[in-house]
Amino acid sequence: MKILIISDLHANLEAIEALPREFDQLWVLGDLVNYGPDPSAAIRYVRQHAAMVVRGNHDQAVAFGEDSRCSARFRRMAEETCQYTRSVLEEDERRYLRALPLKAGCDVGGVHFLLCHAVPSNPLYEYRSADSDLWSGDPAEWSGVVLTGHTHIPFQRSCAGKIVVNPGSVGQPKNGRAEACYAVWQDGRITLGSVAYDVEKTVERLRRLSLSAAVCDELAFVLRNGSVPSAD
């Protein structure tokens, strides 16, 4: 069983299309939309291919008209792209986002997997880094493999009887590399990977949207550098 695990697609079609195509199942850890120019295409890809999907904070914001509660540095980018995203999605697509669960679980090959966007106790909003001591204090039922996204930074860590894996972000990585990130579960092992894609094509598509020049510049910086622009 080969499972492709992805998170934080953020409507980046070029990054999505660069992902590995050979897998038995696709699992998606939320944030299909916002920040990128192709929300409908991202939703369509997930609906066609994913066996399990959970809702992210940006999916929540678009679907329910709520605050994404993203980090302050990204708030303006989130607000402007959320307005764009909500303006182009069909009601059926918004309904799909609303229906996504906050958490999901399954057993594969005798291993229990728990899927969420942020952390199981706060599946939409908590930012938790790889080295956080909080992972060791989690409830005992968070056993097996916990799959989480939200931070856009890939990691794999064993602690307190479980393995925690963040595949990083497909559409807006923040690990210093302009590549679409993912994880693969196969033969009882999880590996982290990434693949290059046509970043400039995504930037070009962003510049065609009705976004402010400042937001476009900041989004382009993140895509090209895989990191957050410095504060003004």
- Count the Cβ atoms, other than its own, within 10 Å of residue 103: 14
For residue 137, is it within any domain? no
- In this prediction, residue 72 carries a pLDDT of 84
- In this predicted structure, the answer to whether residue 232 has a pLDDT above a threshold of 60 is no
Q: Is residue 147 part of a domain?
A: no
Token digits of residue 122: 């706060």
Q: What is the CATH number of the domain that holds 62?
A: 3.60.21.10
Average pLDDT over residues 101-124: 94
Taking all residues of the chain, what is their mean pLDDT, rounded to a whole number? 95
Residue 232 within a domain = no
Does 120 map to a domain?
A: no
Q: Which residue has the tokens 């982290």?
A: 192
List the single range of 84-88, 214-218, 226-230 with lowest mean pLDDT. Answer: 226-230
> Domain for residue 52, yes or no?
yes
Provide the whole-model pTM. 0.96
* Domain count along the chain: 1
Confidence at residue 231, expressed as pLDDT on a 0 to 100 scale: 62
What are residue 48's phi and psi, to 5 degrees?
Answer: -80, -30
Give me the domain span that covers residue 177. 2-103+168-224
Q: Where are the alpha helices (DSSP H) in the chain?
A: 13-17, 39-49, 57-64, 75-88, 91-99, 199-207, 213-225
In a domain, 159, yes or no: no
In a domain, 13, yes or no: yes
- Provide the pLDDT for residue 114: 95
pLDDT of residue 138 exceeding 80, the answer is no
**Higher-confidence residue: 12 or 232?**
12
What contacts 222, CB < 8 A, 6 or more positions away? 172, 174, 228, 229
pLDDT in tens, 52-73: 999 999 999 999 999 999 988 8
Does 112 fall in a domain?
A: no
The candidate with the shortest Cα–Cα distance to 42, out of 51, 30, 24, is: 30
Question: Is 40 strand, coil or helix?
Answer: helix
Position 18 pLDDT exceeds 80:
yes
Euclidean distance between CA atoms 181 and 189, whole angstroms: 17
CB neighbours of 215 closer than 8 A, spacing ≥ 6?
76, 77, 80, 81
